[in-house]
Structure 1
């Protein structure tokens, strides 16, 4: 027997008539009768008492109805689950990000849009050190990563370029720089630079000022960077999106005159992604 036999059996049990059940199923009455007889032969018991116009369930048939209904429901649920998983409607995504993806508001916008479209896909969203994030995506510990570019990606990863932004200078409120009406790159040549995870902005500002930067510590996330600035350990070139989101006592954010340095967020993912849910997230971001 297979699931088809259960469906035939339930149709007859509900209609109490082979002709009506056959019409409902879209098959010929003799075919339906033969399938039910095959079931009875395999089970070794009668399922229906046949009368001229109607049939009624035997005790064995009444017992089978309960289990057959449960079996058909479970089979249909399994079918729907497989179809939904194949479309990416259900599943799980591990998502890693750097802090500036949150400060910019981009991560919230994209995650919330996806969750509205696919509410049954669970997302585990965690902050991660940027240097490690691409490798963690390759290893499968994350499915998607939000990083700050430009950066070199390992073989096997692709990236979608997202929002770009400029840089500002985080400086101690007691620094002599705060007394300047405008701060140019040349003013920074004797400063120690606290380095965020993405140092491209620091290098570009130094290049614009025509000097080799004096590199200080690289403590990790942006909050740690700005904490060192608040302690008077140096200045930091940080993304504009930090302003208004990370405020520490003793820290001032200033624009950099003529600053042309830019960076952008990127979403990285495996080139040959197999998960339909992950592929659906990638497609949504690509088509945003």
Structure 2
């Protein structure tokens, strides 16, 4: 059976009058009669009892009409789903992020803005090591990656900056640096053991300003792991301001760094030539919110 058979049978069932049904469908009564007869032949059963004066559904016809109506409603829903998906209103997006995007509230704000405009799109997110994010994005296993620049991206990826802040110093509570008041000069860290986070540019810039080679104690990975090492007295760490505002651990104090602020950014990376309509809609929203 074809869609035309379903529609013809349903209109006849609604009107119980072949001439009226034919007029509603925009075809001639003989053409409608032929369509209904074809449907009955394909089904192997009568759908209507017809006489010169009346048209009535058979018991098989009545049951068929219920299911046929459901089928057409499902078809209409499928068409609407396809249209909405094409407009980026439906779908699923996979997002990877570094923890500091959460500490700074960047991830939450980006999710809230997109969900408000596209409530039918499912956003699935997971924290991942920063060095893995560009590759997963390039492979299509992620649709977006919230990262800490600067980073090397594979060809075909692009990014926009959503937050620009400064680096600060995390020091063990009770240390001489913790007791110091005011901003600390870079030279004060020349003899300090340094715990280095995934994004090491802040640490390297402080060492450059202080004119010393950094004494790296460890590279534990995530910012929380870095702060855990600081809290245990293993050394100091140069961390983003968002960490100071979002994480308080026993045994950790934060101090400002003297001199011009060392910029720290959070950006979101994505594929430059994206085919997913929902992803394209979010890219447009992210570009509109990007910092210059």
TM-score, normalized by length of structure 1? Answer: 0.91
**Structure 1 residue 61 and structure 2 residue 61: aligned?**
yes
Equivalent residues in 2 for 1:224-239, closer than 5 Å? 224-239=225-240
For 1:190, the equivalent position in structure 2 comes to 191
- 5+ long unaligned stretches in structure 2: none
Q: CA deviation at 1:136?
A: 1.8
Cα deviations across residues 2-41 of structure 1 (Å, max 9, x unaligned)?
1122012101101112333234334444443342233334
For 1:248, the equivalent position in structure 2 comes to 249
What is the count of residue pairs matched by the alignment? 288
Aligned with 1:126: secondary structure?
A: strand
Q: CA deviation at 1:44?
A: 4.7
Q: CA deviation at 1:139?
A: 2.5
- Aligned 8 A contact 2:182 2:256 in 1: no
Cα deviations across residues 188-247 of structure 1 (Å, max 9, x unaligned)?
222222101101111112222232222221101111111111222221111011123111
Aligned with 2:148: secondary structure?
A: strand
For 1:272, the equivalent position in structure 2 comes to 273
For 1:199, the equivalent position in structure 2 comes to 200
- Aligned 8 A contact 1:194 1:229 in 2: yes
Q: CA deviation at 1:65?
A: 1.1
- Aligned 8 A contact 1:87 1:276 in 2: yes
Cα deviations across residues 66-97 of structure 1 (Å, max 9, x unaligned)?
23122212222222222222222222222111
- Aligned 8 A contact 1:19 1:29 in 2: yes
For 2:286, the equivalent position in structure 1 comes to 285
Q: CA deviation at 1:152?
A: 1.0
**Structure 1 residue 168 and structure 2 residue 168: aligned?**
yes
* Distance (Å, rounded) in 1 between the aligned partners of 2:43 and 2:230: 80
For 2:81, the equivalent position in structure 1 comes to 81
For 1:181, the equivalent position in structure 2 comes to 182
* Distance (Å, rounded) in 2 between the aligned partners of 1:20 and 1:284: 51
- 5+ long unaligned stretches in structure 1: none
For 2:39, the equivalent position in structure 1 comes to 39
Cα deviations across residues 138-184 of structure 1 (Å, max 9, x unaligned)?
22332211000111112232212221111111112222223243311
- Aligned 8 A contact 1:205 1:259 in 2: no
* Distance (Å, rounded) in 1 between the aligned partners of 2:78 and 2:152: 43
* Distance (Å, rounded) in 1 between the aligned partners of 2:262 and 2:157: 25
- Aligned 8 A contact 1:171 1:229 in 2: yes
Range that drifts further, 195-204 or 173-182:
173-182
For 1:131, the equivalent position in structure 2 comes to 131
* Distance (Å, rounded) in 2 between the aligned partners of 1:4 and 1:107: 49
Aligned with 1:93: secondary structure?
A: strand
TM-score, normalized by length of structure 2? Answer: 0.90
In 2 relative to 1, CA 28–125 (structure 1 residues): closer, same or farther, beyond 3 Å?
same
- Aligned 8 A contact 2:182 2:255 in 1: no
- Aligned 8 A contact 1:148 1:265 in 2: yes
